[in-house]
């Protein structure tokens, strides 16, 4: 069987989150480019290594690339300080995409899940946490310095997007079956989240660190990353 790596696709039921399709397409392209073109970077540090901290710069790079290619109408901002309504404490929103009339806020979470595991509770829990963090932001204060027209348009045309990036893994002794295992995992995620945008990207496998192999060389590791699945859900922004 011929296995084709570095492929991706986007599922958006009812054209949900159509405004983010170009961004997610560019994110997938960046992931594959990193995987193939930057061998000097340790594989444990690639965006495919299930590290949440790698998501924000990846999304920002993709957003700037869209601007450079004149495919975007928004400006990206990362790590925005915001007030949490519940306790009045300071928090941060991972990504903001702004234009004169629109605002999209994205909260990112990253989890690792085996391709053979059809239980997606871990993904659902991460999505719930991102959702609660977004709903706890005081939007009136965040947008306090915006013109009235902009705020009114943002009320009508805004988006709150909890996003979970799932690093799909498999044991190295099953890597030859990765195409089938990956698609079975994607299908289970689509079944669990039928109203969400689902973005899948499959790349050339690489070893990743798991518990118990802190100092092992790559060839002695057991776990491999074979692809990513992004789940994005649209929520209504809430004002006090």
- Tens of pLDDT along 79-128? 888 877 766 677 888 999 987 777 889 999 999 999 999 999 999 999 99
Residue 237 lies in a domain: no
Residue 238 lies in a domain: no
Please report the pLDDT score of residue 2 as a whole number.
42
Please report the pLDDT score of residue 1 as a whole number.
40
Residue 78 lies in a domain: yes
Q: How many domains does the chain divide into?
A: 1
Question: Which region, left, alpha or beta, applies to residue 148 given φ > 0 means left and ψ of -120 to 50 means alpha?
Answer: alpha
Angle 218-51-160 from CA coordinates, rounded to 5° = 155
Which residues are bridge partners to 81 per DSSP? 92
Residue 44 lies in a domain: yes
Residue 124 lies in a domain: yes
Please report the pLDDT score of residue 150 as a whole number.
62
DSSP state of 17: T
Range of the domain at 106: 7-232
Residue 83 lies in a domain: yes
C-alpha 9/C-alpha 115 separation (Å) is 18
The mean pLDDT value for 35-47 works out to 68
Please report the pLDDT score of residue 175 as a whole number.
80
Whether the CB-CB separation of 218 and 165 falls below 8 Å is answered with no
**pTM for the predicted model, two decimal places:** 0.88
For β-strands 7-11 and 75-83, DSSP reports them as unpaired
What does the block give as tokens for 206?
């690489």
Range in 81-85, 113-117, 199-203, 221-225 the model is least confident about: 81-85
């Amino acid at each position: 069987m011929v296995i084709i790596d570095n492929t991706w696709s986007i599922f958006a039921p009812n054209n949900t989150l159509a405004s983010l399709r170009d961004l997610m397409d560019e994110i997938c392209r960046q992931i594959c480019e990193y995987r193939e073109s930057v061998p000097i970077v340790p594989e444990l540090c690639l965006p495919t290594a299930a590290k949440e901290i790698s998501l924000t710069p990846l999304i920002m790079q993709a957003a700037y690339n869209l601007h450079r290619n004149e495919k975007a109408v928004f400006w990206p901002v990362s790590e925005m300080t915001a007030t949490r309504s519940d306790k009045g404490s300071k928090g941060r929103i991972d990504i903001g995409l702004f234009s004169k009339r629109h605002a999209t806020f994205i909260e990112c979470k990253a989890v690792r899940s085996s391709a053979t595991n059809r239980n997606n509770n871990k993904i659902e829990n991460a999505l719930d946490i991102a959702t609660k963090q977004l709903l706890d932001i005081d939007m009136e204060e965040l947008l306090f310095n915006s013109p009235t027209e902009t705020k009114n348009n943002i009320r009508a045309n805004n988006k709150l997007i909890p996003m979970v990036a799932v690093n799909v893994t498999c044991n190295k002794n099953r890597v030859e079956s990765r195409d089938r295992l990956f698609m079975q995992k994607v299908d289970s995620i689509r079944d669990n989240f039928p109203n969400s945008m689902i973005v899948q990207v499959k790349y050339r496998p690489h070893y990743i660190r798991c518990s118990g192999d802190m100092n092992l060389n790559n060839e002695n590791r057991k776990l491999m990353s074979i692809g990513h699945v992004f789940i994005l859900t649209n929520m209504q922004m809430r004002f006090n």
